[in-house]
Amino acid sequence: MVAADFSTPLGSSIYTSSPVTGRWDDFLAVELVGWTDRNFRTVAKREARGLAGDRMGGYGAIAMGMRHADVFGAVYALHPVGAGLGLQPMWSRPNFELLQNAKSLDDLKRDPFSQLFTAIYQAHLPNPDKPPLYADLPARKVDGRIEVDAAMARKLTDSFLLDHQAPRYAENLRTLRGLKFDWGRDDPNPDHVISNQALSRLLTEFGVPHEAEEYVGGWGDRTWGDTGRVYTAMLPFFARTLVTDQGEPGEPSRRP
């Protein structure tokens, strides 16, 4: 198992290449995979290589798996976010007055939603010529009300949300040996629950084989520990979907 740092000054790269934050696709699918295969005793083929993540990392696992199904053979996302719009419009989350008046990225760090959504904008609406945020905004606050830039909002949803990406990458997803994601029913943000349910239905509509499971729990509170889903769900999933050096899931290695 290999874990890497995908962080940026605002906390997350959103697992997306951007002229503002970096070449994250190549970092994962080319540099990290190549480095791992050169330095460890791996089975260096996509059928033996899985990709997993938790929450925003779960989003990244699915998004990277869509784009790089030729590199990774199976994907498991623990409680992914960004699956779809859910119940509330995305522009209702950040403080646009704060974003519009920010003098530096540090000004955003007193408001977690503004920090997170600016990271999303840097990844999916990057603009290297617009400091200090280095991103275009999908909405602005004018005279106390929010004005949505429809073109930017469409660009953001098409690029960021998994349910908008899935139709473009459905053929890639269909080549995976396994795809699974789960979510906690009692997540305090119902957007996550609704959008993951909808993503599963959308994948079914596009003929993408997958497993989707809603369990009794909150947002990531049943991930770790002896009874957590990493041990009870994720690792068994990879044990049955990934091949060993003998070519079949679950067979013991005969390497000396």
pLDDT tens digit sequence for 106-125:
999 999 999 999 999 999 99
Task: Give the model's pLDDT for residue 244.
Answer: 86
Q: What does the pLDDT average to over 121-133?
A: 98
- Rounded to two decimals, what is the model's pTM? 0.93
Distance, first Cα to last Cα, the chain: 21
Instruction: Give start and end residues of each alpha helix (H) in the chain.
Output: 24-26, 33-39, 56-67, 96-101, 112-124, 150-160, 162-165, 170-174, 190-205, 229, 235-241
* Residues contacting 56, CB < 8 A, separation 6+: 12, 14, 15, 81, 82
Q: What does the pLDDT average to over 187-211?
A: 97
Q: Which residues pair with 126 in a beta bridge?
A: 135
Q: What does the pLDDT average to over 195-214?
A: 98
pLDDT at 255 over 70: no
3-state secondary structure of 6: coil
- 156 vs 18: CA distance, rounded Å: 13
* Exposed e or buried b per residue across 108-141, where buried means at least 16 C-beta atoms within 10 angstroms of its C-beta: beebeebbbbbbbbbbbbbeeeeeebbbbbbbbb
pLDDT at 221 over 90: no
